[in-house]
């Protein structure tokens, strides 16, 4: 195989990739301070390129310092950097990490590299060990993303990079088995340079993919927070009204049949002010969260729940006839009034009930019309003694 130009020799590639990885590490370290703590993996992803940089320093010192550091330690440090990337992905996708098995494999690799460098020097065997374990780690890492695949570009980029690196490592393994190992890490051949370049620059590109994923996650979390009521976790008033308007627009496009299967509930927690006055606002907040949990269990996937204001909630039923809406409202009320367990912190509050006004859709109605009719039905439910469902007229 012909030698490559000196500018592309393996040592230059290793040093350049290591320097760029160090820069990316600094970027992620500072980025962590601005991102929510709920985004897992950033700590591991910030350390990984820095650890990889340490390995490139050792690799580039081949033939300058003892082989133990440039072969055994250097490969173990780089393998640990790849393991840190994997740990970061586990925390990002699963919320936890467990890489103990790969750390143990790294230690075993170190023993084998020591044997084939200090006791029985054999470059081909060292390359065989490293490429086999690297391919296994990257294929395993890629499998994690394949189990959690979606259309997010950062994840797709990460998956592609991991599969590409795993494939290159596997191809290098095959070349070793075919007797094409070469004689040294610094052989300036196209095959060696391809393998080293991919292994080195993948570290840089993985960091870029991690940044893209973290940025997308942060945007999603901000969008979620912007549409949620901070106390109860259901839709806030703005997001709720937008969802209602979108559903009404869809009903208008689909015609009268769809419109007839659309209804809206206005729900009010009965006697909520006395609860606040007697037990305090913290208990009142806990009551609201308890009621919301019960309403969500009662509704399942049948409706969209949001907080309209104070102790008032709105439920959009996008596919319910008037009879079905009345049945859902009755079920919701029954769930709300269920007795609390004696050991519940809210047991002293006693039974909690809700009043519900239900407004089926009528031709030409907009969201204000439906809310007004549901509110009027709710007023009648409260005037009649509360803890009941009142249907608004469809006419």
Sheet with 389-391, strands from edge to edge, namely 304-309, 312-317, 263-269, 354-360, 389-391
> Region 374-380: what's the mean pLDDT?
95
Higher pLDDT, 186 or 46: 46
Same structural domain, 168 and 20: yes
CATH code of the domain in which 168 resides:
1.20.1070
pLDDT tens for residues 257-313?
555 678 999 999 999 999 999 999 999 999 999 999 999 999 988 889 999 999 999
Q: Give pLDDT, residue 332.
A: 93
Per-residue pLDDT at 10: 64
What is the H or E stretch that residue 354 is in? strand 354-360
Assigned domain for 231 exists: no
Please, what is the average pLDDT of the chain? 86
Q: Is residue 253 part of a domain?
A: yes
Same-domain pairing of 188 and 242: no
Q: Answer yes or no: do 91 and 165 share one domain.
A: yes
Residue 28 belongs to a domain: yes
Q: Which of 226, 254, 272 is the last residue of a domain?
A: 226
Has residue 21 been placed in a domain? Answer: yes
In this structure, are 106 and 156 located in the same domain?
A: yes
pLDDT at 3 (0 to 100) = 46
Residues 216 and 292 in one domain: no
Q: Of residues 221, 247, 311, 324, which has the active-site annotation? A: 311
One domain for residues 293 and 212? no
The pTM of the full predicted model, rounded to 2 decimals, is 0.70
Q: Is residue 83 part of a domain?
A: yes
Within a domain: residue 329? Answer: yes
Query: How sure is the predictor about 9, in pLDDT bands with cuts at 50, 70 and 90?
Result: low
Q: Active site includes 311? A: yes
Q: Is residue 1 part of a domain?
A: no
Please say which residue of 166, 199, 226 terminates a domain: 226
Q: The tokens of 309 are what?
A: 């204001």
Average pLDDT over residues 114-120: 94
pLDDT at 65: 92
CATH of the domain at 325: 3.30.70.270
Lowest mean pLDDT across 177-181, 199-203, 308-312: 199-203
Written as one string, the DSSP assignment of 65-82 is S-HIIIIIIHHHHHHHHH
Alpha helices in 261-385 (DSSP H): 272-279, 281-299, 322-336, 367-383
**Contact yes or no for 171/181 (Cβ under 8 A):** no
Q: Are both 321 and 208 inside the same structural domain? A: no
Nearest to 378, CA basis, from 313, 331, 334 = 313
154 has a pLDDT exceeding 50: yes
The reply to whether 275 and 129 lie within a common domain is no
State how many domains the chain has: 2
Mean pLDDT of 216-226: 84
From the list 364, 353, 367, the residue with the least C-alpha distance to 316 is 367
Asked if residue 7 has pLDDT above 50, the reply is: no
Judgement on whether residues 200 and 308 belong to the same structural domain of the protein: no
Answer with the residue of higher pLDDT: 99 or 17.
99
pLDDT at 1 over 50: no
pLDDT at 13: 66
Residues 124 and 190 in one domain: yes
pLDDT digit string (tens) for 226-265?
A: 889 989 989 999 999 998 888 888 877 776 555 567 899 9
Q: At what angle do helices 272-279 and 281-299 cross, to 10 degrees?
A: 140
Average pLDDT value for residue range 126-145: 95
Q: Which of 1-15, 22-36, 58-72, 172-186 has the lowest mean pLDDT?
A: 1-15
* DSSP result, 182-196: -S-TT--BHHHHHHH
Same domain, 195 and 245: no
Final residue of a structural domain among 168, 201, 226: 226
Looking at the structure, tell me whether residues 168 and 269 fall in a common domain: no
List beta partners, residue 313: 267, 307
pLDDT tens-digit readout, 307-355:
999 999 999 998 888 899 999 999 999 999 988 878 788 888 888 999 9
φ, ψ dihedrals at 261, nearest 5°? -105, 45
Domain holding 381, by residue range, is: 237-391
Task: Determine, yes or no, domain membership for 146.
Answer: yes
């Amino acid at each position: 195989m012909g030698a490559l130009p000196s500018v592309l020799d393996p040592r230059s590639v290793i040093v350049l990739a290591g320097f760029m990885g160090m820069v990316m590490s600094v970027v992620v370290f500072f980025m962590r301070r601005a991102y929510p703590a709920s985004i897992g993996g950033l700590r591991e992803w910030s350390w990984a390129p820095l650890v990889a940089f340490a390995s490139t320093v050792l690799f580039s010192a081949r033939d300058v310092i003892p082989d133990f550091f440039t072969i055994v330690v250097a490969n173990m440090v780089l393998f640990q950097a790849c393991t840190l990337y994997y740990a970061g992905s586990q925390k990002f996708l699963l919320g936890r990490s467990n890489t103990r098995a790969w750390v143990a494999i790294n230690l075993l690799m170190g023993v084998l590299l020591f044997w084939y460098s200090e006791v029985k020097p054999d470059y081909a065997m060292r390359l065989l060990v490293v490429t086999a374990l690297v391919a296994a780690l990257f294929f395993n890492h890629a499998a994690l993303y394949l189990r959690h695949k979606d259309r997010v570009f950062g994840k797709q980029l990460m998956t592609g990079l991991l599969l590409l690196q795993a494939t290159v490592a596997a191809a290098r393994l095959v070349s070793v088995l075919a007797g094409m190992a070469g004689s040294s890490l610094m052989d300036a051949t196209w095959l060696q340079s391809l393998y080293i370049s991919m292994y080195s620059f993948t570290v840089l590109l993985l960091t870029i993919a991690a940044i893209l994923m973290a940025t997308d996650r942060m945007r999603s979390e901000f969008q979620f927070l912007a549409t949620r009521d901070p106390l109860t976790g259901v839709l806030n008033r703005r997001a709720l009204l937008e969802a209602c308007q979108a559903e009404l627009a869809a009903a208008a496009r689909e015609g009268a049949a769809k419109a007839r299967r659309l209804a809206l509930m206005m729900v009010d927690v009965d006697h909520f002010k006395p609860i606040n006055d007697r037990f305090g606002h913290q208990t009142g907040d806990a009551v609201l969260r308890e009621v919301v949990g019960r309403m969500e269990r009662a509704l399942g996937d049948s409706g969209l729940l949001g907080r309209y204001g104070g102790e008032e909630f709105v439920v959009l039923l996008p596919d319910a006839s008037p009879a079905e809406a009345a049945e859902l409202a009755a079920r919701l009320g029954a769930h709300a009034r269920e007795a609390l367990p004696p050991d519940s912190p809210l047991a002293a509050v006693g039974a909690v009930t809700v009043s519900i006004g239900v407004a089926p859709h009528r031709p030409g109605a907009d969201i204000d019309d439906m809310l007004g009719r549901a509110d009027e039905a709710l007023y009648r439910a409260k005037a009649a003694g509360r803890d009941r469902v009142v249907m608004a007229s469809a006419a």
